[in-house]
Chain A
Amino acid sequence: KNQVEQSPQSLIILEGKNCTLQCNYTVSPFSNLRWYKQDTGRGPVSLTIMTFSENTKSNGRYTATLDADTKQSSLHITASQLSDSASYICVVSARGGSYIPTFGRGTSLIVHP
């Protein structure tokens, strides 16, 4: 069964600090991995996407990494801002057949001033 596990479940950091969120998956055959940001009361918004051949992708202060061999991804946030407070969701898609992406439960990040 395809699964996506995220850690930690929640995280509190001070404004200006860096943090790293983790995602482990068992989706096979792998197609791509996305990180979404979901603000409270809003729908998820795509931050980055990586395919099998990519091992890093940046979007401003967000940098995602992918190790397809160990089936792990991380999202690193640099110099956090209050607006980074949100849930970060890892989503993995498989190649071929019916396209039903597998969503992780998300990591809730709170940035305190």
Chain B
Amino acid sequence: NAGVTQTPKFRILKIGQSMTLQCTQDMNHNYMYWYRQDPGMGLKLIYYSVGAGITDKGEVPNGYNVSRSTTEDFPLRLELAAPSQTSVYFCASSYPWEALPDEPQHFGDGTRLSIL
């Protein structure tokens, strides 16, 4: 199993450009998440999804959009890139926390995004 796969690994954008960060998992997890990690800070939840067709905002959703058309994929969209969105983005997946609260989240290796 590949686990959680994120693409691209690195990207440089100009202010105002848009892009989609891809995330796919092969563990048949219902729940998927997007986090951003800024230097010296804890991971902040951007959006999460409890299943195909269902998404919800996390702590820092402004400037981002998500969709969940399949169980496997959970892309994150930046419409108008801003310098404040320079960060490392992590996608994660897990079993439903209500049913299996002790199961951990599985993380991808991140997308490093710079906006200049």
Say which residue of B42, B43, B45, B109 sits within 8 Å of A42 (CB atoms). Answer: B109
Contact A99 to B97, CB < 8 A, known contacts A32-B102, A43-B110, A51-B102: yes
Q: What per-residue 1/0 map shows which CB atoms of A84-108 lie under 8 Å from chain B? A: 0000010001000011111111100
> B40 near A: Cβ within 8 Å?
yes
> B101 near A: Cβ within 8 Å?
yes
Say which residue of A31, A49, A105 sits within 8 Å of B42 (CB atoms). Answer: A105
A43 and B58 contacting across the interface, CB-CB below 8 Å: no
Q: Which residue, of B4, B42, B48, B58, has the highest number of chain A Cβ atoms within 10 A?
A: B42
B contact residues, range? 20 to 34
B101 and A4 contacting across the interface, CB-CB below 8 Å: no
> A41 near B: Cβ within 8 Å?
yes
* Smallest CB gap from A104: residue in B: B42
Cα(A104)–Cα(B105), bound, Å: 15
Cα(A8)–Cα(B79), bound, Å: 38
Cα(A36)–Cα(B104), bound, Å: 9
A43 and B107 contacting across the interface, CB-CB below 8 Å: yes
Say which residue of B56, B107, B110 sits within 8 Å of A45 (CB atoms). Answer: B107
Instruction: State the Cβ distance, A6 to closest chain B Cβ, in Å.
Output: 9
A interface residue numbers (CB < 8 A to B) = 4, 31-32, 34, 36, 41-46, 49, 51, 89, 93, 98-106
